[in-house]
């Protein structure tokens, strides 16, 4: 048997493993189309999904603002403890997210290091949701942006510097334009990860509810039949945004190459 055939079989198993639960969710719901229609017409559900998307957008904004300098530093600079910093960046991916929520609560809670002195309320409030989303999604942006910066030949930046451009000008006129696609892809992945977060959010801010919390709440109180239509709506919403942005990025790449 050829290696390509073996790889195709193994790959198919994993693809089916991902597709089957989603496919089953949709096909099972077809037996209750009225429930799906009612969910599509439910204002509270849409408000929660849009609120979730807004909170995820804010967390992504912070990830880009503070993560871009860190990603560039890790890609371009050698310094003592660099491996430690890289490990810290990946830490939210490793630890259970419920543990992350407890850790965030110890910092941003009403008796936490920051929460006790901050005029901003984090517990059961939008800021708490944003910090929880940021904690779990920032690594996806930082690592993707870092790969983008590493893919650039440093000579391009050096040539710009020899022509008299400042470091800031080189960064914004040379580096960013060459890595914008990685930055956009990282931001998209960060946003998608923030949308799907549940464990850290439910610890620090059960209210106001985000989409994942609403689905969990409906499941506990009314069962699978009440929670499944919201899950489908969230999948469709997230997938439509994800595909739209991906298509725009792909078209931008084709236009640049033509």
Kindly report, residue by residue over 47-90, the tens digit of the pLDDT: 999 999 999 999 999 999 999 999 999 999 898 999 999 999 99
* Interacting residues of 182 by C-beta distance below 8 A, sequence separation 6+: 144, 145, 147, 148, 149, 151
Top pLDDT among 246 and 184 is at 184
Average pLDDT of the chain is 89
198-227 average pLDDT score: 92
Instruction: Report, as an integer, the average pLDDT of 26-52.
Output: 86
Distance, CA of 149 to CA of 170 (rounded, Å)? 13
Task: Quote the pLDDT of residue 254.
Answer: 57
| pLDDT tens readout for residues 83-106 | 999 999 999 999 999 999 999 999
The dihedral of CA 145, 147, 149, 151: what is its sign? negative
Say what the pTM is.
0.88
What is d(CA 258, CA 254) in angstroms, rounded to the nearest whole number? 6
Please state, in angstroms and rounded to a whole number, the distance separating the CA atoms of residues 133 and 131: 5
Instruction: From 103, 59, 100, select the one nearest 210 (Cα to Cα).
Output: 59
Q: What is the pLDDT of residue 105?
A: 94
Better-predicted residue by pLDDT, 177 or 31:
177
- pLDDT reported for residue 252: 56
- Name, in order, each residue with C-beta under 8 angstroms of 82's C-beta and a sequence gap of 6 or more: 74
Which residue ranges make up each domain of the chain?
Answer: 39-257
CATH 1.10.3720.10 fits 39-257, yes or no: yes
DSSP one-letter string for 113-155: TTTTT-SS--TTSHHHHHHHHHHHHHHHHHHHHHHHHHTS-HH
Query: Of 41, 49, 38, which is closest to residue 209 (Cα–Cα)?
Result: 49
CB count within 10 Å of CB 14 equals 9
At residue 256, does pLDDT exceed 60? no
């Amino acid at each position: 048997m050829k290696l390509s055939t073996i790889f195709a079989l193994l790959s198919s198993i994993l693809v089916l493993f991902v597709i089957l639960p989603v496919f089953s969710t949709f096909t099972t719901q077809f037996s209750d189309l009225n429930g799906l229609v009612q969910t599509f017409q439910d204002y509270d559900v849409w408000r929660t999904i849009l609120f979730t998307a807004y909170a995820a957008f804010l967390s992504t904004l912070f990830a880009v603002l503070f993560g871009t300098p860190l990603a560039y530093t890790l890609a371009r600079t050698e310094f003592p403890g660099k491996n430690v910093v890289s490990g810290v960046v990946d830490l939210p991916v490793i630890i259970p997210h419920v543990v992350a929520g407890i850790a965030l609560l110890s910092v941003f809670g009403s008796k936490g290091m920051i929460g006790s002195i901050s005029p901003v309320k984090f517990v059961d409030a939008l800021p708490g949701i944003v910090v929880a989303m940021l904690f779990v999604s920032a690594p996806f942006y930082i690592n993707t942006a870092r790969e983008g910066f590493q893919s650039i030949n440093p000579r391009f930046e050096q040539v710009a510097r020899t022509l008299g451009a400042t470091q800031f000008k080189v960064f914004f006129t040379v580096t960013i334009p060459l890595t914008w696609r990685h930055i956009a892809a990282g931001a998209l992945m960060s946003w998608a990860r923030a949308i799907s977060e549940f464990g850290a959010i439910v610890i620090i801010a059960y209210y106001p509810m985000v989409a994942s919390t609403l689905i969990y709440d409906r499941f506990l109180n009314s069962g699978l039949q009440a929670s499944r239509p919201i899950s489908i709506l969230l999948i469709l919403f997230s997938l439509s945004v994800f595909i739209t942005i991906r298509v725009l990025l792909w078209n931008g790449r084709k236009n640049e190459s033509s």
